[in-house]
Copies of this chain bind each other. A is one copy, B any other.
Amino acid sequence: MNNIMNKLKGSPRRYGAFDDHAQEYVITTPHTPAPWINYLGNNGFYGLFSHTGGGYSFWQDAKLRRLTRYRYNNIPADSGGRYFYLKQGHTIWSPGYRPANTELDSFECRHGTGYSKINSRLGAIRSELLSFVPLDTRAEVHRLRLSNEGEQPQSMQLFSFVEWCLWNADEDASNFQRNLSVGEVTVDGSLLVHHSEYRERRDHYAFFSVNQAISGFDTDRDAFLGPQGTLACPDVVCRGQSRNSVADGWSPIASHQLDIELAPGESRDLIFVLGYIEVAAADKWADNPPSASRQSTSAAVPYLAPAHALAHRFADNDAVERHVNALKHYWQQQLQGFHVASPEPLLDRMVNIWNPYQNMVTFNLSRSASYFESGIGRGMGFRDSNQDLIGVVHLEPTRARQRILDLAATQKRDGSAYHQYQPLTKQGNSDIGGNFNDDPMWLVFAVSGYVRETGDLSILAAPVAFDDQPDGDAALFDHLSASFQHVLNKLGPHQLPLIGRADWNDCLNLNCFSDDPDQSFQITENRQGDVAESVMIAGQFVLFGREYQTLCEQTGRTQAAAAAADAIAGMVRAVETHGWDGDWFLRAYDALGRPVGSRSNQEGQIFIESQGFCVMADIGLHNGKARSALDAVADRLATAHGIVVQQPAYSRYYPEYGEISSYPPGYKENAGIFCHANPWIMIAETRLGRGTKAFDYYTRIAPAYREQNDQQLHRQEPYIYAQMIAGKDAKRHGEAKNSWLTGTASWNYYAVTQFILGIRPELDGLRIDPCIPASWAGFSVIRRFRDATYHIEISNPDGLEQGVRRICVDGQWREGNLIPVLSGEVQVKIIMQAL
């Protein structure tokens, strides 16, 4: 820590640094521009965890099963978390700085893969907090290690604090006339249990425990905080004595008191467990007669046995070490799936650690819960989750397979899909519905990616009923056909795909002519919808349609494959004929049939999406259109901080375009830098063989690169991607927003691994087709692929950007650039050559 802090001295614009060896990001001050967070948990139990211990926990669904309360956009910011207070005489401090806010003698927070550590010191006391969700465990473990580094004995009181959420986070923040009357708790030794509504309709409860006898507790917020209470100085902490309060309505909390004496040199480990217990619905009454169910304190309550058992799994430090090591081992294994050593250590850092880590978080959470997503608005997105999957299929193929089947189950027979579904119920959200016409084809992308990675063609035969034909007899392949056909069934006047409510650009709402702020831009459709077309969907159809065609071929569906080829060719013609503006691809036709993203527009003349998708689909690759389009992107959309969505920004509201024109210029879809769409241009550049350019774009938004120079400007976490960076029309150009949960992660990973580094899984092997900066002398990749691990050495003696004519596999040279499917350790050597 001291090393890193010393390095940072005199550079006030930095708040931390990477520790590549530990695979951690080290935040060296509590005073970051925003909460810099991490995610704990990987499969069901999740916690958001900021660098000062803020955040909250939930089981499966951030809306329906929120365990602890968190207040978004609060003053002070980032209020609420798993908090600790140490009281030594008149000094009160928090090991994580918040909430006591006492300045510390030293502080660092280390965010790692699925765990975080906050190390701090004040006076003689060193504190080390380790927080993680053990694998396959419905609990967070927080081990607080306190050490006396001084020469005098030290005595102190330690207070813990979490505030319970009354389960449904939306109701919890609005339905006070009910909520403030239902809170119930049980105290059983060191186990503080929140069981509001348990044994009514609920079969679950939560608990907060510590592995030692306590000297006091509180479960009533008012009693703990006092009448004027703030989290910075709760009344109980100030007086140094718990009130042993038992909550009865109002706001239940959990707070332990531990009185601690430390001899010089002594350390003490306190292991806190924040857990969630679900019993079989039929069993919830089994051990306790109804009339006693509301008893609030009890020496030994039978239904708490599972909670005691779960807490007991972490009764000692050996158990904690064992579990945290298992978690680290899991991640080591995961990250070995793709490992690069390139001339660019920052690239390596992204590809080897942080990008796949973020991919897994987006796969787990879709867009449901971050510091910008409140967890009550959106569940799992159809479009989102299909894309997220591309970034993790090589790490978690089994879970990816299940996710594909879950997503497909929300699709209807006509190919349309619920735009979102709740992770707890797996039911589509009917208040949003569907009719986002790009949605269906993303399923093709995900399935193709899964098959290419795993070779598991059997998934196509897996039975998945359509949402509107629950008893129907359908296989996954039928869903792909429905997706493909959905586009063809909805073609507009130019034979381009109708856009519906919106395509990937949610804010380009061409059928919503809204003059009422209470209308949702995205679900209001004032026009028939049979005119407005999307060139982006056209490109998407060609790109993913080819993957569909390949799947048809690979499963012997030759007739379907031929029909698909014809349809794709037709779409290419439509784009070349009606989707070309002269120097770049049009974006769309609006509901009146007028071009969008055209020189003929006053504003919004050129958009990123159609350039990206059409060139990724190789449209115009051989007639100069692709090159012209990408040159226009470079000329008109690229900035030092990434490529903006469109130009010129809309300076006023256009009812015919919708939400996109409602944002101030430079923000979000109105000419902000959407990091999600940038890799489309990177990939497109690789289709032209321009590796230097592709990589240049990569570095403009890649966190590790921005971390070096722009921490203060960027403001959000510099170890992961944000959805958006403010564009050049914005006053805050370069400032990031909406960090963590974004398709940016998987798309950048996909672009850099499969198109820049060029290691592409195919059904029959690994295609090796790097498209790199000419300056690179080479690079090496270790790639796990099915049953083999390929050690690939690529050298580039001639300073090329692209070119693999043959490869050497285990000492044997072969023509072409496909490494066959093998097993075991495989050595591959490649020398790039001009084609």
Contact = CB atoms under 8 A, between A and B. Distances in A.
B248 A732 contact: yes
A157 interface: no
A815 interface: no
Contacts of A178: 668
A163 B74 CA distance: 11
Contacts of A225: 75-76
A199 interface: yes
Contacts of A228: 31, 76, 101
Interface string A219-240: 0010001011111100000000
B664 A294 contact: yes
Interface string A278-291: 00010000000011
Interface residues of A, number: 79
Interface stretch (A369-377, A390-398, A542-550, A566-574): A369-377
A728 to B, nearest CB: 14
A708 to B, nearest CB: 22
A716 B182 CA distance: 18
Contacts of A31: 227-228
A79 interface: yes
Interface in A180-214: 180-182, 184, 197, 199-202
B294 A651 contact: yes
A167 interface: yes
B662 A176 contact: no
A75 B79 contact: yes
| Secondary structure type dominating chain A contacts | loop
A52 B185 CA distance: 32
The 4 nearest A-B residue pairs measured at CB: A290-B652, A200-B653, A181-B667, A201-B517
A787 B387 CA distance: 73
A526 interface: no
Contact of A173 (B184, B374, B663, B664): B374
A656 to B, nearest CB: 13
Nearest to A199: B653
A702 interface: no
B64 A518 contact: yes
A516 interface: yes
A662 B373 contact: no
Given A174-B376, A230-B76, A737-B180, A281 B515 contact: yes
Contacts of A425: 518
A313 interface: no
Given A76-B228, A173-B374, A249-B667, 10 more contacts: A76-B225, A176-B373, A177-B738, A181-B664, A181-B724, A201-B516, A201-B653, A230-B232, A249-B737, A293-B651
Interface string A714-728: 000000000110000
12 contacts: A64-B518, A75-B80, A168-B517, A175-B377, A177-B737, A197-B517, A201-B515, A230-B230, A230-B232, A249-B664, A281-B515, A294-B651
Stoichiometry, as copies per complex, reads 2
- Among the interface residues A31, A291, A371, which one has the most CB atoms of the partner chain B within 10 A? A291
Contacts of A731: 248
A16 interface: no
A668 B180 CA distance: 10
A242 interface: no
A736 to B, nearest CB: 11
B518 A168 contact: yes
Contact of A514 (B201, B376, B663, B737): B201
Given A181-B667, A248-B731, A664-B294, A176 B72 contact: yes
A665 interface: yes
Given A168-B518, A229-B75, A662 B372 contact: no
Contacts of A5: none
A71 interface: yes
Contacts of A514: 201
A637 to B, nearest CB: 19
A232 B229 CA distance: 12
A802 interface: no
Contacts of A181: 663-664, 667-668, 672, 724, 737
A99 to B, nearest CB: 9
A231 B79 CA distance: 13
A146 B122 CA distance: 44
A172 B80 CA distance: 19
B199 A652 contact: yes
Interface string A636-664: 00000000000000011100000001111
A332 interface: no
